[in-house]
Amino acid sequence: MDQCADRVATLTGVLEHIGTLDATEQLTLLDAILRFDRSTSEAEKTGVFSGVLNKIGSFDKAIQPSAWEKMLQHFKILPGNAQTTAFDDLLKQIDTLDAMVKQGALNRLQSYIVPLLPESERLSASARIQKHQYQG
């Protein structure tokens, strides 16, 4: 296995167990993963973002808002061509969040992430967020 594949395999194994950690350990691990990810290739950044995001619903409900905010901040370092897919992934993960966190998460998507998307995609992204707000 090459070094990249080793890192992905290790991360996948770690993420499988993140839901079993206490809130403090989860945030510490998330910080470590996101710090590490800043030094990886563009493809790895996208994979790490997606992998962590898929587990955010298993985080302790008390830290979900902090974890969500960290993911939104991390969105900025994703390569431009990956941001549209990452936005779609963020929107899908809204339903895994605690009900008390959902509305704030949708508001942050609208105010923070939509402006980072290519101009041609912003209107569609805003409409999808609004549709999601009415469904939730």
Residue 43 confidence (pLDDT): 76
**Nearest by Cα to 86 from 104, 100, 73:** 73
* pLDDT of 1 above 60: no
User: What digits encode the pLDDT tens for the residues 42-80?
Assistant: 777 888 888 888 888 888 989 999 999 999 999 988 888
Here the tokens at position 56 are 């955010």
d(CA 79, CA 81): 6
